[in-house]
């Protein structure tokens, strides 16, 4: 392809590159600020710096309220990841069948949570809990998170399942395997990456969810986002919050990089296996 047919000239590429760099600064500036002030020896995040300290980290790691919040969030997030992935697998297997009753309606229903604003989901579940006569609870919150997670799990698992079908059907025919054996021996291992992605997404979505949690959290209990929200209103607690935030930032960036590296490895291996 000659360079003149490229959609970007040299000047265009340079200026868009500059724009990209600016956006990266914009996107990372708040993260840098959080990390910088988490080491600042003052309760007010303002210039000039007052001195270096790691005491906020120590305080954060010894705060029972915070640890309880993280524990509750982790529990809800894990429950959500497993339940939503299970439902996602069922939905994907169902949708990949040739005949599905009311397919358009069912498909629409499965992605509906994506287009219903979170505040409506929260309010609806609040009314539902009132109708069945039970108050807010951690279980109800997990159930609510499953609602908003199912579309994501379906969108992750279903496409993967479709790419498998062609090869699978051949294999199944050649081997004369029945469907259950075929699923267990062939589909399941090949589905593993999609299921792992689905679990990760389910965990992350729930762990970071505030809107629905704010409606369904039982009195006196807090998930991690609720802890952050409440903490943002107490200035004395803010430095500790910045320390927690720095840890979260470090951890999530690490996970993103690890996931990317892992994905790259996996794909290269697949390619190598395919070639061999």
Site for another protein in 82-111 (CB under 8 A): 87-88, 90-101, 106-107, 109-111
How far from 88 is each of 16, 64, 94, 140, 188, CA to CA, in Å? Answer: 39, 35, 10, 19, 14
User: If DSSP codes are grouped into helix, strand and coil, which group holds residue 12?
Assistant: helix
| Cβ-based nearer residue to another protein, 215 or 276 | 215
Q: Which of residues 161-200 bind another protein (CB under 8 A)?
A: 161, 164-166, 168-170, 172-173, 179, 182-183, 187
Half-sphere exposure of 188 (CA within 13 A, CB side): 8
Per the rule left: phi > 0, alpha: psi between -120 and 50, beta: everything else, 195 is: alpha
**Interface residue with another protein, options 27, 272, 273, 275 (CB under 8 A):** 27
**Interface residue with another protein, options 72, 129, 156, 157 (CB under 8 A):** 129
Dist CA 165 CA 161 (whole Å): 6
**Interface residue with another protein, options 52, 115, 274, 276 (CB under 8 A):** 115
Q: Which of residues 245-274 bind another protein (CB under 8 A)?
A: 245, 248-249, 252-253, 255-257, 260
Dist CA 74 CA 204 (whole Å): 10
Rounded (5°) CA angle 80-82-86: 115
Q: Does 139 contact another protein by CB under 8 A?
A: no
**Interface residue with another protein, options 60, 70, 81, 121 (CB under 8 A):** 121
| Cβ-based nearer residue to another protein, 3 or 276 | 3
Dist CA 261 CA 214 (whole Å): 35
Dist CA 157 CA 151 (whole Å): 10
**Interface residue with another protein, options 51, 174, 176, 233 (CB under 8 A):** 233
Closest contact distance (angstroms) between CB of 58 and another protein is 14
**Part in contact with another protein (CB under 8 A); list of ranges 50-58, 74-82, 133-141, 268-276:** 133-141
Number of residues that bind another protein (CB under 8 A): 127
| Cβ-based nearer residue to another protein, 44 or 61 | 44
Dist CA 226 CA 241 (whole Å): 12
**Interface residue with another protein, options 5, 189, 273, 275 (CB under 8 A):** 5
What DSSP character marks residue 196? H
**Interface residue with another protein, options 1, 272, 273, 275 (CB under 8 A):** 1
| Cβ-based nearer residue to another protein, 4 or 276 | 4
Q: Which of residues 42-61 bind another protein (CB under 8 A)?
A: 44-48
CA-wise closest residue to 211 among 189, 227, 226: 226
Neighbour-count burial of 91, counting CB atoms closer than 10 A to its CB (0-12 exposed, 13-18 middle, 19+ buried): buried
**Interface residue with another protein, options 72, 144, 160, 197 (CB under 8 A):** 144
């Amino acid at each position: 392809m000659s360079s003149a047919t490229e959609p970007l000239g040299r000047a265009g590429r340079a200026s868009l590159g500059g724009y990209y760099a600016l956006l990266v600064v914009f996107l990372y500036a708040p993260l840098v600020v959080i990390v910088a002030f988490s080491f600042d020896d003052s309760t007010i995040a303002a210039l000039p710096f007052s001195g270096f300290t790691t005491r906020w980290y120590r305080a954060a790691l010894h705060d029972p309220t915070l640890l309880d919040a993280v524990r509750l969030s982790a529990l809800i997030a894990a429950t959500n990841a497993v339940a939503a992935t299970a439902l996602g697998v069922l939905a994907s297997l169902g949708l990949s069948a040739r005949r599905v009753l009311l397919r358009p309606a069912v498909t629409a229903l499965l992605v509906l949570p994506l287009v219903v604003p979170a505040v409506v989901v929260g309010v609806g579940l609040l009314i539902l809990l009132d109708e069945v006569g039970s108050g807010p609870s951690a279980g109800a919150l997990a159930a609510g998170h499953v609602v908003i997670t199912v579309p994501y799990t379906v969108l992750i698992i279903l496409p993967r399942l479709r790419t498998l079908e062609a090869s699978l059907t051949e294999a199944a025919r050649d081997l004369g395997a029945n469907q259950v054996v075929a699923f267990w021996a062939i589909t399941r291992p090949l589905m593993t990456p999609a299921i792992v992605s689905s679990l990760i997404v389910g965990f992350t979505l729930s762990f970071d969810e505030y809107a629905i949690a704010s409606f369904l959290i039982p009195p006196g209990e807090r998930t991690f986002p609720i802890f952050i929200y409440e903490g943002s209103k107490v200035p004395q607690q803010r430095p500790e919050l910045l320390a927690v935030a720095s840890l979260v930032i470090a951890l999530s960036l690490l996970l993103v990089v690890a996931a990317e590296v892992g994905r790259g490895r996996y794909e290269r291996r697949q390619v190598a296996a395919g070639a061999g």
